[in-house]
Structure 1
Amino acid sequence: MPTEAPSKPGKEELTSRASRVRLLVFDVDGVLTDGGLYYGDNGEVMKRFNVKDGHALVMARLVGLPAAILTARSSRIVEARGRELGLAAIFQGRKEKGPAFLELLAQLQIPANQCAYMGDDLNDLDPMSLSGLSACPADAVPEVRQEADFVTTNVGGHGAARELVELCLRASGRWEDAVGLMRSTDKRSTS
């Protein structure tokens, strides 16, 4: 007998959950990137990140909403990108994402119900189920789309992360402040 899909929160409930978010956590491959892995003779050498996603993460940081990475793979590229964006934490090589997610939250002293997590594949289901707001890109695997509270209209690596950032900033009343900061300075940080 097939299990019934959990119901998605309505707009009001989604906005309420998004307003309580104090930390954004993202998977990398398929969320912050398009999921493509580019290999050369010396191994992995490139990943494609979206500048609009990066810009949104900088905006969030500047108005007090930090972000972090939790990924099963390890890459110097991810470390460099995370530092460039000023992320609060970069957890790489964490195949057991549920325990790693709890470790990350403990390290940053954020309750799970005040965290948003965005993933795209089966290994993201545990942290999604633990978070106060779960999200995924439009091209996530069906099981993840079914479980997510918020499914973006954009695919991974093409603005999906930005949609979650905007949802949380608008819901918490920080969007206008973020826009104002971006208008007043373009030299605080790169995106």
Structure 2
Amino acid sequence: MIEALPKPTKEELNARAARVRLLVFDCDGVLTDGGLYYGSDGELMKRFDVKDGHALVMARLVGLPAAILTARTSSIVDVRGRELGLAAILQGKKEKGPALDELLSQFSIPAESCAYMGDDLNDLGPMSRVGLSACPADAVVEVRQEAHFVAQSRGGHGAARELVELCLKASGRWEDVVGLMKRSESKSSRVGLK
């Protein structure tokens, strides 16, 4: 049996989340439900959660960028990442630890100011490098044991949203997001866009 690392207290977790300046997510099993749908011409579909996507947009709007770091390569991921306005989309990165180091260097962000959410053994490398490691509820046991934060939701079903909300609330930006969304809704209804 593998021994789990002690989880941070709520205060320690909030302190880690408050320092986050970059959110990095694995894709399959984190931003998606992990299902891969193939047709005769190759991969056709992936399932993304709208609430996860909206959380990434809200984070970007208040100055908290997000990126995807995945071992697989898919045009679907590029489309979704561009749609959400992600800061970076790194695909085909089998060695995720060094790829994360490159990403941190590119954005001039220290590892302790980064959050990484993964779900499988190949995510342990980047998780061990960051200030806030996270995973969905259905991540493999070794990842759940290493993560500072284990979401209550499964991958592709709100886990990313939970991490985004944790970081925004801990850094005092959640109220900014709520206010921004209220102002946006108010403007939309006035011009008949609702």
TM-score band, normalised by shorter chain: over 0.9
Per the alignment, residue 63 of structure 1 pairs with 62
Spell out, residue by residue over 1:96-144, the C-alpha distance to the aligned partner (whole angstroms, 9 max, x if none). 0000010111111111000000000000000000000000000000000
Spell out, residue by residue over 1:140-184, the C-alpha distance to the aligned partner (whole angstroms, 9 max, x if none). 000000000000000000000000000000000000101111122
Per the alignment, residue 181 of structure 2 pairs with 182
Per the alignment, residue 140 of structure 1 pairs with 139
CA distance in 2, matches of 1:121, 1:3: 15
Q: Secondary structure at the match of 1:185?
A: helix
CA distance in 2, matches of 1:87, 1:184: 23
Q: Secondary structure at the match of 1:163?
A: helix
CA distance in 1, matches of 2:40, 2:2: 46
What are structure 1's unaligned runs of at least 5 residues?
none
CA distance in 1, matches of 2:129, 2:173: 25
Give identity over the alignment, percent: 78
CA distance in 1, matches of 2:58, 2:16: 20
What amino acid does structure 2 have at the position aligned with 1:181? Answer: L
What amino acid does structure 1 have at the position aligned with 2:177? Answer: A
Question: Deviation of residue 93 (structure 1)?
Answer: 0.2
Runs of 4+ in 1 over 3 A off after TM superposition: none
What amino acid does structure 1 have at the position aligned with 2:107? Answer: L
Structure of larger gyration radius: 2
Q: Is 1:38 the equivalent of 2:6?
A: no
Per the alignment, residue 23 of structure 1 pairs with 22
Per the alignment, residue 131 of structure 1 pairs with 130
CA distance in 2, matches of 1:57, 1:179: 14
What amino acid does structure 1 have at the position aligned with 2:84? Answer: L
Per the alignment, residue 89 of structure 2 pairs with 90
Per the alignment, residue 163 of structure 1 pairs with 162
Question: Deviation of residue 5 (structure 1)?
Answer: 2.1
Question: Deviation of residue 4 (structure 1)?
Answer: 3.5
Counting matched residue pairs gives 187
Please report the RMSD computed on the Cα atoms of aligned residues, expressed in angstroms: 1.3
Per the alignment, residue 121 of structure 1 pairs with 120
Question: Deviation of residue 185 (structure 1)?
Answer: 1.5
CA distance in 2, matches of 1:72, 1:3: 25
What amino acid does structure 2 have at the position aligned with 1:86? Answer: G
CA contact (8 A) 2:14 2:170 kept: yes
Q: Is 1:6 the equivalent of 2:11?
A: no
- Tell me: CA distance 1:125–1:10, structure 2 relative to 1, closer, same or farther (3 Å): same
CA contact (8 A) 2:3 2:145 kept: no
CA distance in 2, matches of 1:61, 1:8: 28
Q: Secondary structure at the match of 1:16?
A: helix
CA distance in 2, matches of 1:52, 1:5: 30
Q: Secondary structure at the match of 2:180?
A: helix
What amino acid does structure 2 have at the position aligned with 1:143? Answer: E
